Structures are given as C-alpha cells and as structure tokens.
Amino acid sequence: MIHVGRLYHRVDQQSIPLRMTMQYSDTRLLARAETDDVSMRQRLDKVDTRMTRASRRMRADIGALGPGLITGVADDDPSGISTYTVTGATQGYQLLWLSIVTLPMIIAVQSICARIGIVRGQGLAQTIGERYGRGWLIPVVGLLFIANVVNIGADILAIAAVTDMLTSIPTRWLVAPIGIGIALVQVIVPYPRFARYLKVLTLVIFAYVIGAFFANPDWGAALRGTFVPAADWSGPGLQTIVAVLGTTISPYLFFWQASAEVEEEEQMGIVAGKADPEEISPIIRGARLDISLGMLLSNIGFYFVVLTSAATLFASGQTNIQTAEQAAEALRPLAGNAASILFAVGIIGTGLLAIPTMAGSVAYAAAELFGWPEGLNNTFRRAPQFYSVIALATLLGIAMTFTSLGEIRALYLSAILNGLIAPLLLVVIMLLAGDRAVLGQFTAGRTVRFIGWTTTIAMLVVAIVMLIGLIPT
C-alpha cells in the first residue's frame, strides 16, 4: 500500500523539473521578446535616420534653391545693369561673348565658396582666418569693405536718380532718406521676408530679353560678337572688360554665398560644421544646381542688356552714357514713353535686393574677424554688432554719393574697382579650394579648380594690363 503522503511527495518531486523547464522556457521567450523589441527599435531608428537623411537630401537637391538664386539676381544689380548698358553702348556687339565665357567662371567660383561654407559650417572670412591667420584676414576684410561701401554708395545714388526721373525730386534730396530707409529695413525686417517680395521686381531685367527683339539688332554682328571673341584692347576697352568681369564676378558674392549656405544648413536642422559626410555630398550637389540656375539667369540678363543697348544706343551714336535717363533709352523700342518707368523699377528692385547683400557680406566678414554673433536669421538684440556693421556700411555708402560723379559713371567705376579687388581675393579662395586641411575629402574637383584658377589669372592679367595702361608715358 502506497502512503498518500509519499504519493504526493513523489508527484511534487516530478513536477519540479517540469515547473523549472516551464519557467526557463518563459524566461527565454521573454528575453527573446525583449531582444526582438530592442532589435525592432534599432531597425526603426535606422529607418528613421535614413528617412531623415533622405528628407535632407531631397531638401538639399530640390529645396535648397535659394541662396544661389538670390546671389544670381543680386549679381544683376544697378552696377551690373549700368555696366552692361555702357558696354553695349560703347563697344557694340563685340563683347557679347563675355556673357558666355564668364558663366562657367562664376559658377565655379560661387560653387567653391558654397562648398567651403557647407563643409566647414562657417563663413569664408572665418575659414581664411583659421587657416592663414589674422595677418591674411584683416586685408581681405579691408578690401571687401572698400569694394562694398563704394558699390553700396553707387547703388543708392542710382536708386535716388531713377526716383528723381519719376518724381522730379532732386537726387541730392533723395539719397539720405533712401539710404537711411534701407539701413533701417535691414535692421528691422528679416532679410528672407524682405527678399521674398523684391524678387518679383528684379524680373524687370528680362524686359531686355523682349526689348532686344523690338530693337531690331544686327543679328549677323550679334552672332559674331557671341561666338567670335574680339575686344578693343585700348585703355577704354580694357576698362570695360575689367568692369564687366568685376560686376559679374564680384567680391561680395563670394562671402555672401558661403555664409548663406551656412544659414541654409541651420534651417535644415544641421549643426554648423557637424554634418554627416553622407549628407554633405547631396547638399553640395543641391547648392551647385542652385548656383548654376541663378548664374544662368544672371548671365542671360547680362547678354540681353548688352544686346539691347548695342541695338539702340550704340546704333544711334549714344555712346556717352552718364545719366539714368540716357540708359533708359535702351528700353524705348519696347516700352516707348514708359521706358523710364520700366528702367526705374528694375534699378529700384535690384538695388534694394543687392544693397543688403553687399552690406550683409561685410557684416559676416567683420563678425567672423572679431568673433561676434552673426546671421540674418538673428534679431538685432541677438547680434547687435552684426547689424551695426550693416548699418555702418550703408551709411558710409551714402557719404560716398556726395561727389560730382553721375550715377551711371559711379556705378561703372565701382564695377572697375570690383574687377581690381576680386582677383586678389580669388587667389586665397582658390588656395582653400584644394586644401585637404580645410575641406578634407570634399576638396573641389580638378575641373572646377582649373576653371577657378583660369578665372583668377585672367582677371589678374587684365587688371594689371589696364593699370599699366594708366601710367603716363
């Protein structure tokens, strides 16, 4: 007879391994579930990271259109329009080829400046200072400041002159209110919002595209001037070439482009200088597309301003262009008596867009020189020194207008000054473009560097030859 207690004891002993097995199995299942959960979270994190990168790449390739377009539009500022008008009026069709030759030049240069801003996560001036020291940076910022203040002054004078043309209020009474108003707007109104509305006004530049066909140009001479390089290598001819190069490949564009790309990265949620290498390439690609489109539009404007001016002013013997009224005559075949209004709207629109760009590029450079807070995305309270430099550059520009120079002559001379200063700055930029200590694996390609150095050398040679020609014999 089996004792009931022993039976229970035996059954209980036999159940212990079973319970242990079940508990072990449950533990393994729970551990596996937790492992699977962690693995799933990791996979989801990876997917989320890839989606974030993909989103950034889309914004880099498509949504990044902005800084380059603004730079391109700003390139056809009052100085540009006036210089191209004088070029067509004095040289006829023979310098049309410069609009084609300078296109790859300006795309290469601006792409390098954008690359520096994207990779380094900082402006051009700060990069120059870190790589070569303040001994290099101070003269660079000084040259930029001189060029931009003169250009700002010429642009303010042009806006005042075309306003005089429309209202009969004397130019000298308009200069100070216009300049101070622009300075205040730059400090109070965020530039992106300010620029959004002004972009529409700059489309007036394309009135020259339509105007060229109304002007009945000599198409045979125009085609020769487009595809067969020729030039007047005398003093005035060389000055015109330097002015064209200076207004197309301008110093302020170099600094503006790099700093604008840094702010664009920040808006995309990328910490300055901390972008993943996988993200940098598509951002550079997007910037190159943006710049190419902006500069293509700019040089189309360049081409047709020269063409229209050659067909109207040069053809009628109006080669001494000193005033806005004279320059506006190029649009008369298209607009008739409204030519002055159309020209004035173009000058005002491009001037109001370009002046903050010039003043801003000086402010970026100065802020990077002295280590101040910077950025057009900041308020005056957060970056007081930055906005103070913008205001100072604009006010000094106003002071530059109180000369005996006519507005067109002032704009033309500011373009020549840019043509003399730009190649000096380009030497430094091109050294950075191939420097692995600065850009690491993202140094500019050989083709871009070749075009950049060709641009630098060509501008240096033309500038030196022009200066030698000015020496009395």
Note the pTM of the prediction, 2 decimals: 0.82
pLDDT digits (tens, 9 = 90+) for 51-103: 344 334 434 443 445 566 666 665 678 899 999 999 999 999 999 999 999 99
Q: What is the DSSP string of 284-302?
A: HHHHHHHHHHHHHHHHHHH
User: Rg (Cα) of the chain, in Å, rounded?
Assistant: 30
Note whether residue 6 is domain-resident.
no
Residue range 186-198: average pLDDT? 73
Is 17 a member of any domain? no
Q: How far apart are CA 431 and CA 128, in angstroms?
A: 10
Task: Evaluate whether residue 54 is within a structural domain.
Answer: no
User: Is 30 a domain residue?
Assistant: no
Number of H helices, E strands in the chain: 20, 0
Count Cβ neighbours within 10 Å for each residue of 329-343 and write b for 16 or more, e otherwise.
Answer: bbbbbbbeeebbbbb
Asked whether residue 26 is assigned to any structural domain, the reply reads: no
Domain count, the chain: 1
pLDDT tens profile 9-20: 444 455 544 444
Q: pLDDT tens for residues 232-250?
A: 888 889 999 999 999 999 9
In a domain, 448, yes or no: yes
Which pLDDT does position 471 carry in this prediction? 84
In the predicted model, is pLDDT for residue 127 greater than 60?
Answer: yes
H-assigned helices in 59-170: 67-75, 78-91, 97-120, 124-132, 134-167
For helices 97-120 and 219-227, give the axis angle rounded to 10 degrees: 40
- Report DSSP letters for 395-423, one per residue: HHHHHHT-SS--HHHHHHHHHHHHHHHHH
In a domain, 50, yes or no: no
Minimum mean pLDDT among 39-53, 74-88, 303-317: which range?
Answer: 39-53
Specify if 16 maps to a domain.
Answer: no
CATH of residue 344's domain is: 1.20.1740.10
Length of the chain: 473
Q: What is the pLDDT of residue 375?
A: 82
Range of the domain at 463: 64-470
If we measure between CA atoms, which residue out of 403, 470, 429 comes closest to residue 115?
Answer: 429
CA distances, 397 to each of 121, 271, 276 (Å): 30, 35, 41
pLDDT at residue 109 above 60? yes
Q: What share of the chain is helix, strand, coil (3-state, %, to 5)?
A: 85, 0, 15
Choose between 160 and 378: higher pLDDT: 160
Average model confidence (pLDDT) across the chain? 83
Residue 133 DSSP one-character state: -
Q: CA-to-CA distance for 129 and 386, rounded, in angstroms?
A: 18
